[in-house]
Amino acid sequence: MVDSVDIDGLTADQVLLRDNIRRYLREKVTPLIAKAEADKKFPYEVLTGLRDFGYLGGTLPEADGGLGIDFPTWAVMMEETGYCWLSLRVMVNTLNIVAGIIGAYGTEAQKERFMRPLLQNERRTFVSISEPDVGSNVAEIKTRADKRGDRYVLNGSKLWITGGLFADFGIVVARTFSDTCNGELSLFLVEKEHTPFDVRPVETMFVRSTGTAAFTFENAEIPAANLIGTEGQGLRQILIGLNFGRLNVAMGAVGAAQSALDLSVRYALDRKQFGRPIGSFQLVQKHIVDMAMKTQAARALGYRAARAMQSGQPSRLDCSIAKLYATEAAHEVANLALQVHGGMGYATECPIERIFRDTRGGLIPEGTTEIQTLIIGREILGISALT
The answer as to whether 21 is a domain residue is yes
Helix (H, G, I), strand (E, B) or coil at 231: coil
Give the residue numbers spanning the domain of 358: 238-381
CATH number of the domain enclosing 335: 1.20.140.10
Please indicate, yes or no, whether residues 177 and 111 belong to a single structural domain of this protein: no
Q: 23-27, 252-256, 310-314: lowest mean pLDDT where? A: 310-314
Please indicate, yes or no, whether residues 103 and 142 belong to a single structural domain of this protein: no
- Check: CB of residue 334 under 8 Å from CB of residue 257: yes
- Cα–Cα distance for residue pair 224/230, rounded to 1 Å: 11
From 88, 119, 150, the end of a domain falls on: 119
The answer as to whether 38 is a domain residue is yes
If one compares 3 and 322, the residue with the highest pLDDT of the two is 322
- Cα–Cα distance for residue pair 60/127, rounded to 1 Å: 18
Q: How confident is the model at residue 7 (pLDDT cuts 50, 70, 90)?
A: low
Please indicate, yes or no, whether residues 157 and 261 belong to a single structural domain of this protein: no
Q: What is the pLDDT of residues 72-82, one digit of tens each?
A: 999 999 999 99
Pick the catalytic residue: 108, 122, 366, 370?
366
Closest-CA residue to 197 (of 214, 216, 225) = 216
From 183, 200, 233, the end of a domain falls on: 233
The answer as to whether 106 is a domain residue is yes
The answer as to whether 40 is a domain residue is yes
- Check: CB of residue 320 under 8 Å from CB of residue 376: yes
Please indicate, yes or no, whether residues 281 and 167 belong to a single structural domain of this protein: no
Percent of the chain scored above 90 by pLDDT? 88
Number of domains the chain contains: 3
Please indicate, yes or no, whether residues 275 and 330 belong to a single structural domain of this protein: yes
Please indicate, yes or no, whether residues 48 and 133 belong to a single structural domain of this protein: no
Task: Classify residue 295 by burial, with Cβ atoms within 10 Å: 0-12, 13-18, 19+.
Answer: buried
Q: How far is CA 381 from CA 199, 317, 324, in A?
A: 43, 11, 18
Please indicate, yes or no, whether residues 331 and 210 belong to a single structural domain of this protein: no
The answer as to whether 78 is a domain residue is yes
pLDDT at 79: 98
pLDDT higher than 70, residue 344: yes
Q: How far is CA 313 from CA 29, 308, 358, in A?
A: 36, 6, 32
Please indicate, yes or no, whether residues 229 and 318 belong to a single structural domain of this protein: no
Question: Strand 213-223 and strand 198-201: pairing?
Answer: antiparallel
pTM assigned to the model: 0.93
Q: What is the pLDDT of residues 38-54, one digit of tens each?
A: 999 999 999 999 999 99
- Cα–Cα distance for residue pair 50/28, rounded to 1 Å: 10
Please indicate, yes or no, whether residues 259 and 324 belong to a single structural domain of this protein: yes
The answer as to whether 6 is a domain residue is no
Closest-CA residue to 21 (of 56, 51, 53, 54) = 53
112 is catalytic: no
Rounded mean pLDDT, 225-240: 91
From 119, 145, 171, the end of a domain falls on: 119
260: left (phi over 0), alpha (psi -120 to 50) or beta: alpha
Q: What is the pLDDT of residues 169-206, one digit of tens each?
A: 999 999 999 999 999 999 999 999 999 999 999 999 99
Rounded mean pLDDT, 306-311: 95
- Cα–Cα distance for residue pair 92/54, rounded to 1 Å: 11
Please indicate, yes or no, whether residues 188 and 260 belong to a single structural domain of this protein: no
CATH number of the domain enclosing 197: 2.40.110.10
Please indicate, yes or no, whether residues 252 and 222 belong to a single structural domain of this protein: no
The answer as to whether 386 is a domain residue is no
pLDDT at 6: 57
- Cα–Cα distance for residue pair 101/105, rounded to 1 Å: 6
Please indicate, yes or no, whether residues 221 and 295 belong to a single structural domain of this protein: no
Q: Which residues pair with 127 in a beta bridge?
A: 171
- Cα–Cα distance for residue pair 55/47, rounded to 1 Å: 8
The answer as to whether 249 is a domain residue is yes
Closest-CA residue to 192 (of 245, 240, 253, 125) = 125
Average pLDDT across the chain, whole number: 94
pLDDT higher than 50, residue 2: no
